[in-house]
Structures are given as structure tokens and as C-alpha cells.
């Protein structure tokens, strides 16, 4: 059963909007070919499920943690967002998995020490060229790695917004959330504040999101999360994000095997400002 750590969350109707007289901001992602970004990502999760069939129940409790550290070099760009990047995964990247009362098991991230190229296709699917067979148990490593190429622009309004304004990002996020047929994602973002910090104009955005996924054996996974992001306004770059969420599992009553359960997850991602590589002579 897939575990959603970073992108998953509470179904929201709308968020209030501030007065139109406030100063408005148009934030747009602006990465460039040759830019380098050092990314550190940590995810934690605790999940408990009970599977019942023919009067017999099996309980599974799992604690997970992933740490990913990587250097991204932007290779190609479209409309300010990267479409390809070379990623050097630091050897210190790791996974921790603990099943029930068993001792925790710490292993290297499947990509630790590897250099891979991520590419985002016209249909928005992200792939990487890592060699070797990826075990099913390590698919979360692939998800975390490929998520590095998700555009920050997904979180930004396409129109100028004032502090307190909110906007829907469901369609943009859905394109990069690995949804299957029948899955549903709804998400809104809000501009909390804009301040000058260390000489830079910085903004805080809050995203509230709800996600319904349908897993194997007709298991429904209902996720809720809130993400608070710190954004470099001039660069259009999310430099820090903290996520907190919950998940519930259920099956239709006519299923032979009933799966119920819940869990909670959190994540932290931080990006150092890019160092410039080759740039066009004129920039917007």
C-alpha cells in the first residue's frame, strides 16, 4: 500500500479573501539553466491498519522516516520551471522503517551516492534514468526524488494577490501528484504575509489540501494536510516548507477483506538559494 508523505490532505471549500485595496503581488517561478540548488528533505510517518477477512484480523503498525539530501543542476526550463535536472544524491540519504515491535531498520536511500537525470514530459509525468531494478519496497524513494522536479509554480496564483487572498491550485497540483483514475485532489493556497527578511522580500503561503486515492483491493485512502511555505518573492522559489497531515483507510462494506486504519505524517523541505550558471543576457 502506497504511503503518501509529502503531497496528501483536508477537503476545503474556500478560504476568505482580503480587501482589494491592499498591495498585490504576482509570484512566478524563475529558475534558469545552470542554476544549482541544494535540497534537504525529511519525511516522517506513523500508520496503523487492521485487515479483517473470514473473522480473522491482522494488525500492522509502521513507523517510517526518509531523509534525502541532493544537489540539483537545472538542465532545461520552460516558463520559469525546470523540465530536466541532474541530481546528485548525497550518500548520507537514508530510510528508516519500523514494523510493530520489531527493531527499526535503517538502510541507505536506494539512490544514495547516485547521479540521475530527472525529466518532466509534456504530459507532466516525471521519470529518472537511474540504472538497476527498483524494489517495490523502495518506491517511496523514487517518489521523493521525482517530486524534486514538481514546479513551485503549482502553489502560486496566476493572478496578482494581496495578503489574505486565497486561490485554488487543485488542477496544477493534480498534474504532479501521480493520480490514478478515480483519485481526487482539492487544494487552496493563501498568502499569509509579505516581509523583508535579510534584504529579500519573502512571503508565507499556506496550502490546505485534501486527497482521495484508491489503492489495491479497493482500499480508499483519505489524506489531509496543511503545508506552510516560505517563498523568495523575486525568485519565485519555495525555500522552506513544513507539512503536517493525517490519513484514514477504509473499504466498501461488500469487500471480502475489510481494511481500516489511520495515521499521521509530517515533512520538512529546505532549499538553499540557487547559484547562477549561464543566464540569458536579458531577464524579465
List pLDDT tens digits, range 21-41.
479 999 999 999 999 999 999
- Give, in order, the Cα–Cα distances in Å from 241 to each of 42, 121, 124, 147: 11, 25, 22, 13
Q: Is pLDDT larger for residue 259 or for residue 16?
A: 259
Please compute the mean of the pLDDT values over residues 223-229 and round it to a whole number: 98
Could you tell me which of 169, 170, 196, 195 has the C-alpha nearest to residue 184?
Answer: 170
Split at pLDDT 50, 70, 90, the class of 204 is very high
pLDDT value at position 244? Answer: 98
Q: What percent of the chain has pLDDT over 70?
A: 88
pLDDT value at position 212? Answer: 96
CATH, residue 128:
2.30.230
Q: What percent of the chain has pLDDT over 90?
A: 81
pLDDT value at position 81? Answer: 97
- E-assigned strands of the chain? 24-25, 36-53, 56-78, 81-89, 94-99, 105-108, 115-120, 126-128, 161-162, 166-168, 184-197, 200-214, 220-232, 237-250, 258-271
pLDDT digits (tens, 9 = 90+) for 93-118: 999 999 998 999 999 999 999 999 99
For residue 183 the three cell numbers come to: 483519485
Residue 276 lies inside a defined structural domain of this protein: no
Q: In total, how many domains does the chain have?
A: 1
pLDDT value at position 136? Answer: 87
pLDDT value at position 274? Answer: 52
Residue 19 lies inside a defined structural domain of this protein: no
User: What domain range includes position 223?
Assistant: 24-271
Question: Is pLDDT at 206 greater than 80 in this prediction?
Answer: yes
Residue 44 lies inside a defined structural domain of this protein: yes
Residue 36 lies inside a defined structural domain of this protein: yes
pLDDT digits (tens, 9 = 90+) for 228-251: 999 999 999 999 999 999 999 999
Split at pLDDT 50, 70, 90, the class of 2 is very low
- Give the whole-angstrom CA distance, residue 251 versus residue 2: 15
Residue 39 lies inside a defined structural domain of this protein: yes
Q: Are 205 and 192 in contact (CB under 8 A)?
A: yes
Amino acid at each position: 500500500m502506497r504511503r503518501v508523505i509529502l503531497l496528501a490532505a483536508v477537503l476545503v471549500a474556500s478560504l476568505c479573501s482580503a480587501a482589494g485595496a491592499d498591495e498585490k503581488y504576482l509570484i512566478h517561478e524563475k529558475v534558469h539553466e545552470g542554476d544549482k540548488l541544494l535540497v534537504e528533505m525529511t519525511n516522517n510517518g506513523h500508520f496503523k491498519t487492521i485487515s479483517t477477512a473470514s473473522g480473522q484480523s491482522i494488525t500492522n503498525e509502521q513507523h517510517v522516516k526518509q531523509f534525502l539530501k541532493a544537489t540539483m543542476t537545472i538542465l532545461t526550463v520552460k516558463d520559469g520551471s525546470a523540465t530536466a535536472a541532474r541530481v546528485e544524491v548525497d550518500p548520507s540519504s537514508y530510510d528508516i522503517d519500523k514494523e510493530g515491535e520489531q527493531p527499526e531498520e535503517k538502510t541507505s536511500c536506494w539512490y544514495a551516492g547516485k547521479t540521475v537525470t530527472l525529466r518532466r514530459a509534456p504530459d507532466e509525468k516525471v521519470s529518472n534514468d537511474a540504472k538497476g531494478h527498483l524494489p517495490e519496497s523502495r518506491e517511496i524513494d523514487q517518489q521523493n526524488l521525482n517530486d524534486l522536479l514538481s514546479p513551485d509554480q503549482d502553489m502560486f496564483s496566476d493572478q496578482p494577490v494581496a495578503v489574505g487572498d486565497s486561490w485554488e491550485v487543485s488542477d496544477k497540483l493534480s498534474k504532479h501528484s501521480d493520480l490514478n483514475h478515480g483519485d481526487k485532489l482539492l487544494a487552496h493556497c493563501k498568502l499569509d504575509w509579505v516581509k523583508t527578511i535579510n534584504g529579500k522580500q519573502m512571503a508565507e503561503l499556506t496550502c490546505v489540501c485534501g486527497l482521495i486515492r484508491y489503492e489495491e483491493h479497493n482500499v480508499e485512502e483519505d489524506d489531509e494536510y496543511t503545508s506552510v511555505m516560505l517563498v523568495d518573492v523575486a525568485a519565485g522559489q519555495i525555500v522552506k516548507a513544513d507539512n503536517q497531515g493525517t490519513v484514514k483507510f477504509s473499504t466498501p462494506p461488500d469487500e471480502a477483506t475489510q481494511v481500516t486504519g489511520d495515521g499521521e505524517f509530517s515533512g520538512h523541505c529546505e532549499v538553499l538559494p540557487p547559484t547562477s550558471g549561464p543566464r540569458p543576457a536579458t531577464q524579465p
